[in-house]
Structure 1
Amino acid sequence: MIIIAGRLDVDPAGRAEYLAGCRPIIEQARSADGCLDFVLAADPIEPGRINVYERWGSTEQLEQFRGEAPESPSAVPILDASVQRYEISAVGPP
């Protein structure tokens, strides 16, 4: 399993516009083979922060989606980003 998680920082005044522009990407990801979860969400505390969380069944499925995903149509620039990829070898109850 692959998890992509982190944050994007945009101008707080443009965050809603940025997220609205990402809706087609989110919808496409969620219908892609191997996508177990995909969300870009406004952080409730930091006004310019967008939280990123993706969960994929395999590297191949993630790479296939990345090759097919549309570009973000948003004109809102990303000011900073910190997103990491995690390869998970075991999953169990909390």
Structure 2
Amino acid sequence: MLLIVGTVRLPPANLEKARPAMRAMVSASRAEDGCVEYAYAEDVLDRGLIHVKEIWRDQAALDRHFASDHIAVWRASWPALGIGDRDLHAYEVEKKPRAT
């Protein structure tokens, strides 16, 4: 599995305007085959800082995500929303059974 974690930043004044675009991106991504988890979360201490967490089944699923129409729409919205300062990192992880 692939874990993507990091942050994106946008001007705090644009948060309300960005919410529909972020909601659409999260919903469409969660519906993709191979998406295990996909979430954005606003930092409670740093307004305009959005934490990103994604888990993908494999590289092929992530590649399809990068080629999706909804990610193209999301990326096209960045200039108008002032989204910048992206800091995302990918890690290969394995799921281990829970200890009982």
TM-score (norm 1): 0.87
- For structure 1, list consecutive stretches of 5 or more residues without a partner in the other structure: none
**How many residues were matched structurally?**
94
RMSD over aligned CA atoms reads 1.8
**How far off is 1:93 after superposition?**
4.1
Shift in alpha-carbon separation, 1:77–1:30, aligned structure 2, 3 A: same
* TM superposition outliers: structure 1 runs of 4+ over 4 Å: none
Give the equivalent residue in structure 2 for 1:76. 81
Deviations 1:62-87 (A, max 9, x none): 11121114221352112311111111
Structure with the largest fraction of helix: 2
Check conservation: 1:5, 1:53, Cα contact below 8 A: yes
Residue 85 (str. 1) matches residue 81 (str. 2): no
| Higher strand proportion | 1
Task: Look up the match of 1:67.
Answer: 67
Which residue number in structure 2 is paired with residue 30 of structure 1?
30
CA distance in 2: counterparts of 1:9 and 1:81, whole angstroms: 7
- The alignment's TM-score, normalised by the length of structure 2, stands at 0.82
The 3 A distance-change label for structure 1 pair 22 and 69 is farther
Partners of 1:69 and 1:51 lie apart in 2 by: 22
User: Conserved in 2, the CA contact under 8 Å of 1:11 and 1:79?
Assistant: no
